[in-house]
Structure 1
Amino acid sequence: MYPASAAISRARADSVSGALMVAPHEGVNPTEHDLDGGSGGVGAARHDERVTLVDELAAAGAGAGRPLGVAAAPFVGAGLACGDRRWTVAPAELRVVDEQLHPRWTWWGRPTTETLVGARLGACWDVTAVHRLLFGGGDTDPSTVWARTTGLDVDRLPAAGQLDFLGGATDSGDDDDPVRPDGYLQPDWVDGGWHRDADRLATWAAVALRCAERQRELLGALDAGGDPLLTAWSESTAELLAVELQVEGLPLDSVRARELITAVVGPAPRDDADAARLRGERDRRVTDLPGAGVDLDLRNPADVRTLLGGIGIDVPDTRSWRLEPLRASHPLVDALLEWRKAERVATTYGHGWLDSHVRDGRLRGRWSGSDGAAGRMTAQAGLHNLPAELRPAVAAEPGRTFVRADLGQIEPRVLAVVSGDPDLARAGAADDLYAPVAQRLGVERPVAKVAVLAAMYGQTSGTAGEALRGLHRAYPVAMAYLDDAYERGRAGRDVRTHGGRLVRMPPLAARLDEAGVRAAQGARGRYARNALVQGAAAEFFKMWAVTVRARLAPLDARIVLCLHDELLVHVPTERADAAAATLVAALEETAHRWQRGRTAVRFVADVSVVARWSDAKG
């Protein structure tokens, strides 16, 4: 442990640097910032050719950390807004602006991010990401974002061509103004009109600036234990990192992957009949064993329970984690678990998966910067659930290596911070948090670990029961924090994470009896408790990830995977040690900023330099 006190094609990414440009506006002379032959100021007066775009932006107020609006679209260009000034530019110019002015790029969300991903921009403000932080939920259409942020009734959002049945057609105002007289956004702009031409891009960027300004005011008014503004910054950059991850892709040795898949499920089937034959062969590894039964359907949980009951194993369900401790009890259990591994590879990670998602030695899938109650980064194409059997195929390219870092005991350490429990914070100063907790409770370390995890995830019986009672006595502040979250969720009250993200509680289902209501309320309470701890942990992880992203830039290193609490970095071999040290230093920096000097919990990570992902421990 190291201490710390729709995939986008590469061709499209490369096009950002040169192909997307717009012609100069009539009457405006090209300037030195026309790097690719076309940009000019919207409504700007004629200016001296020696005045660069950077000079103009600086004169308008752009600078380090200051908001600079931007909107961009393929084959149209980019529009900028700062103060009351507007510009249309080639996207390639934004890299120079970023390097010289270091602004906080402010955009609506994914469409602009995907267009500009090749520019490798720095600090940003993603209006959509901040909206999720402020209001929760998944409705991030610009019209809804704008309405909620400006205090308008979202139930009255206008639609294109909408009629007012009492007064005829509604007054939509000037079609060239994205904001209607009634304060709502023009549906035409939201539905794609914003990128009809370069001038509209600049106007759309200006509206993003207005929305972001109001969002900052709302964040400042939040009652949260952490720093919502800091969370907004990191959540925004995490969305940018998500797009970079789907463009960059995860290095994968296709030949080795094919070998590993073949070893588990056999060669690629020639046709449907051959696929059925291979499936039957996999099934017979279980069904041909004594005691299995002739008509057994391995894909039917009821049949599997009957199978297990016939060999004297009574379990409430047939989940693999429940059967794993029973593997040695009977050959059928071992065969069933091995069959499930093979079936998962065959149906989800087989030859078809390899052919569909791996190109040019990279596994690519769509990434999200925040998904679900926990707010974790997630990915498609199997990137977040790659079986251990296939990890040997994740290999660094020639001349490069991986630096892998995995946070240790992140959630109990986060609990120590967000709850403000001084005793748990003192335990969090140790390399192994569970050791001082076990000593304080007077139990073995494994029991202490189970108790802490049970407290966060809602288990109240079994091995954890007595130790949980000890936790209430030893760490009353942390336990009160969890109990309060449970009661708020149980009552249906929304909760906010330490960083300020709203987590909405689902309504109870209709027509529940009394027992059903109690069960649903209890589940909602556990959901709230889990969301506060896991949500804060996700916020911490993303803050660390985007800090690593920034600090690694001089090393020509790229993050290629964010998996739960783990980072995988692809780096030139000769810079591996420097990258490892950077990951640790970034963790220290993140821990200091996130705790805001209120606690001194240590955050730790297991860091290793490996050629293949499977070479890392854990």
Structure 2
Amino acid sequence: MPDSDTRATGSPGGSPGGSPVGSPVGFPVVLVVAGASAHALGEGVDELVPREHLPALVTDLERRRGPRWVVWSAASGLRDVVDAGVAVGRCWDLAEAHRLLHGGWAATPGHVWAACRGLDEDAVPRARAHRRGFDADLFDVPDDPALVDGAGHLRADALGAWAGDPGRPTRLRELAGLALRCRDDQARSVASLAGDPDTAARLERVVWSESAAAVLCLELERDGLPIDRATAVSLIADAAGPRASDERDAARIRAERDALVLRHAPPGREQTDLRNPAQVKALLAAAGVDVPNTRAWVLEPYRASVPLVEALLRWRADERIATTYGYRWLDSHVGPDDRLRGAWSACDGAAGRMTAQNGLHNLPASLRPAVAAEPGHVLVRADLGQVEPRVLAVVSGDRSFAAATRADDLYAPVAAELGTERAKAKIAVLAAMYGQRSGAAGQALGDLERRYPVAMGLLDRAYADGVARRPLRTWGGRLIRLGAAGPPLGEGAGADEDAPGIRATETTDGGRASAGEDGAARAAHDAARGRYARNAVIQGSAAELFKAWAATVRASLGPVGGRIVLCLHDELLVHVPVARADETVALVARCLDDAARRWAGTDAVRFVTDTSVVGRWSDAKG
């Protein structure tokens, strides 16, 4: 995490814009933006400004005070500031903190307020859509000035028309005051998860890095991913054919692509619709390939021996580019500045991974040569190595397994400990985290359980929690729901059921099967849920580490003139001037050491990166 501070939680007051004596760096200041106005509220800060003046206000307070900006969400409170090019420092994103503490995706101001007040989440008011063709409903009543309704819930339009009413400027201040209360409530909830002050501080740092990741998402949307347009056009043409002049021409080009497959079709099957799975299955059967479905992994074993299958799989890759990443995609999402842009999210609503739209997270490998640094710049690509087993060492607290992480290749010392070859040791470790117990994986897993019982015990408890529908918490405290909602924070079955230092939670349904579910189906569903839980507690924790690393790199790039332009699972892509490339390579490694130590609360586990300096993304190995 890139920052540390002391925290002031006194009631807002003082002269507008004034600086109280002894006000610490990192004290909370709320930013609420609605309509044409914005309000900043905190200790010694109480300013209502026109929305267009918000970037200047933030710049001034960043320079003089270094506050931690409290926002209902980074998107609602900081987008204007980020779009203006202002470097936002510390942040507490109420929505991201809510997702961390309570799991799931829904994190509107209403959900945040309900959770902080202990209200029923299902009763959170929803905004009512206006009926098309009507300015108002026949039964509309005059505007209710109350921010909170009779049941204690925050009104659905709190950040919209209600707060943005220019005739009622005090509404923004009232909403800002509620945001401060929510921040304090969330801070207390974070502390309640911890069994000791060190764990409480560690979990709070996770909130900071999750919030910083939300700001990074806004910067990624603003800056975009650099694209070599000419190369992109050439690659699309190789896969999809030339740009069609009209619909008739498009049909001709599609038919030419289809013909490359259908020339291998048995007699009578030349008119097969390759976009119809049932017809494709019949085509394959006529060619002697009897398969239960036409998924790629099912067909792959036939690729080398059946020309039809080879042609079909190639066609599918080209068809994906033609239909999803073709000329329309290029025209719609790559701007005149040759940057690919899409919406980003700091959390997927499940284990907490960052996600993006418009191909930023699932660009076909064949198009990666089009991702290229601008003239005078390079891409520093850094990928976390063997991150999940290293995270397992942290989460489990297994000292023997942690010792293996000191090696560049973790699997080598594990293999030596098991008395087997590296390949089998790797299979065993991955099988442990993904719940595979059959074949060679199952045999190797037994040895792993005997040599590393603490790490394997953590995974077994996660599996049992998944089967019983008990929610899990990651190392950073993120709630992963596996059925019914858990009890209030701080209540649960006992610390030995969760990651060290974090109190457990449990559900109220006792893991009962759904009505009408037979025994075999129930067992299969339970096992699948157990496997998911076994992996989610590791993947979710790894996502926290990645965001802590990304946030630390982001905060350190100013002196080298670099920008993060892509976050993909465990991989960072940084765009920097050529002259600062070596410095940036050292920077990302140093930031990983710092972020990992702060996130883990220890330096006993070593994390590594595979880092390279390239002109094009496709030039990076791995």
Structure 1-normalised TM-score? 0.84
The match for 1:107 is 71
State the AA in 2 paired with 1:474. Answer: R
| Structure 1 CA distance for aligned equivalents of residues 444 and 413 of structure 2 | 14
Q: How does 1:56-455 map to 2 (within 5 A)?
A: 56=18, 58-59=19-20, 62-73=23-34, 76-83=36-43, 86-89=46-49, 90-91=53-54, 92-109=56-73, 110-117=75-82, 118=84, 119-157=86-124, 175=145, 178-179=147-148, 183-197=152-166, 199-223=170-194, 227-289=202-264, 291=266, 293-308=269-284, 317-324=293-300, 326-359=302-335, 360-455=337-432
| Separation in structure 2 between the aligned mates of residue 187 and residue 344 of structure 1, nearest angstrom | 40
Q: Which residue of the partner structure matches residue 5 of structure 2?
A: none
Distance 1:67 1:318 in 2: 55
Residue number in structure 1 paired with 2:442: 465
Q: Give the 3 Å change call, closer, same or farther, for CA 66–600 of structure 1 in structure 2.
A: same
User: Is structure 2 residue 503 aligned with structure 1 residue 528?
Assistant: no
The answer to whether the 8 A contact 1:78-1:202 is kept is no
Helix, strand or coil at the partner of 1:512 = coil
Code of the aligned partner of 1:518: A
In structure 2, how many angstroms separate the alpha carbons of the residues matched to 1:417 and 1:160? 43
Letter in 1 for 2:71: W
Structure 2 counterpart of 1:374, one-letter code: A
Q: Deviations over 1:350-377 (max 9, x none)?
A: 1111011010210000000000422111
Task: Quote the offset at 1:320 in angstroms.
Answer: 2.6
Amino acid at match of 1:208: A
Any gaps of 5 or more consecutive residues in structure 1?
Answer: 1-41, 48-52, 162-171
Deviations 1:463-511 (A, max 9, x none): 3121111111111111111111111111111111110000111466553
Which of 500, 513, 521 is the matching residue for 2:518?
513
Report the residue type matching 2:77 in the other structure.
Answer: T
Structure 1 residue identity aligned to 2:537: L
Contact conserved, 2:342 with 2:358, CA < 8 A, in 1? yes
Deviates more, 1:356-365 or 1:439-448: 439-448
Q: Secondary structure at the match of 1:195?
A: coil
2:542 alignment counterpart: 537
CA RMSD of aligned residues (A): 2.7
Distance in structure 2 (CA, Å) of the matches to 1:567 and 1:587: 11
Aligned equivalents of 2:96, 2:372: Cα separation in 1:
32
- Displacement of 1:194 in angstroms is 2.1
User: What secondary structure, in the 3-state scheme, does the structure 2 residue paired with 1:606 have?
Assistant: strand
Deviation at 1:557, TM superposition (A): 0.9
Question: What is the aligned length?
Answer: 556
**In the alignment, which residue of structure 2 is the partner of 1:35?**
none
* Residues 291, 421 of structure 1: alpha-carbon distance in 2 compared, 3 angstrom cutoff: farther
Confirm whether residue 482 of structure 1 aligns to residue 469 of structure 2.
no
CA change 1:178–1:44 in 2 (3 A) is: farther
SS in structure 2 opposite 1:146? Answer: helix
Rounded Cα–Cα distance in structure 1 between residues aligned with 2:334 and 2:308: 35
Q: Alpha-carbon deviation of 1:462? A: 2.5
1:81-109 deviation line (CA, Å, top 9, x unaligned): 11375212421221121133221111111
Instruction: Rate the CA distance shift 1:430–1:326 in 2: closer, same or farther, 3 A.
Output: farther
Asked whether the equivalents of residues 29 and 67 of structure 2 are also in contact (C-alpha less than 8 Å), the reply is: yes
2:558 pairs, out of 545, 553, 562, with 553
Q: Which amino acid aligns with 1:217?
A: R
Contact 1:80 1:206 in 2 (8 A): no
CA 235–490 in structure 1, closer or farther in 2 if over 3 Å, else same: same
Q: Give, in angstroms, the shift of residue 315 of structure 1.
A: 5.2
Partner Cα distance (2:330, 2:340) in 1: 8
Cα gap change, 1:44 to 1:588, in 2 (>3 Å):
closer
Shift of 1:316: 5.2
Amino acid at match of 1:399: G
Kindly, what percent of the aligned residue pairs are identical?
52
Deviations 1:225-262 (A, max 9, x none): 78321111111111111111011110111121011100
Stretch of structure 1 that moved more, 407-416 or 216-225: 216-225
Contact 2:105–2:350 at 8 Å: present in 1 too? no
Equivalent-residue separation in structure 1 for 2:542 and 2:514 (angstroms): 30
Q: Which amino acid in 1 is paired with 2:29?
A: L
State the 1:319 CA deviation. Answer: 3.2
What is the letter of the counterpart of residue 549 of structure 2?
Answer: W
SS at match of 2:358: coil
Write out per-residue CA displacement over residues 95-138 of structure 1, whole angstroms, 9 at most, x where no aligned residue. 12113322111111121122221322111000011000111112
Bigger CA drift: 537-546 or 547-556? 547-556
Q: Partners of 1:340 and 1:491 in 2: how far apart? A: 40
Change (3 A) 1:491 1:273: same
Question: Aligned equivalents of 1:63 and 1:555: distance in 2?
Answer: 28
- Asked whether the equivalents of residues 143 and 190 of structure 1 are also in contact (C-alpha less than 8 Å), the reply is no
Contact 2:14–2:43 (CA<8 Å) still a contact in 1?
no
Moved more, 61-70 or 586-595: 61-70
* Equivalent residues of 2:428, 2:445 under 8 A apart: yes
Assess, with a 3 A threshold, how the Cα gap between structure 1 residues 44 and 130 changes in structure 2: closer, same or farther. Answer: closer
Find the aligned partners of 2:21 and 2:179 in 1 and give their Cα distance. 17
SS in 1 for 2:41: strand
Distance 1:464 1:313, change over 3 A: farther
Residue of structure 2 equivalent to 1:600: 604
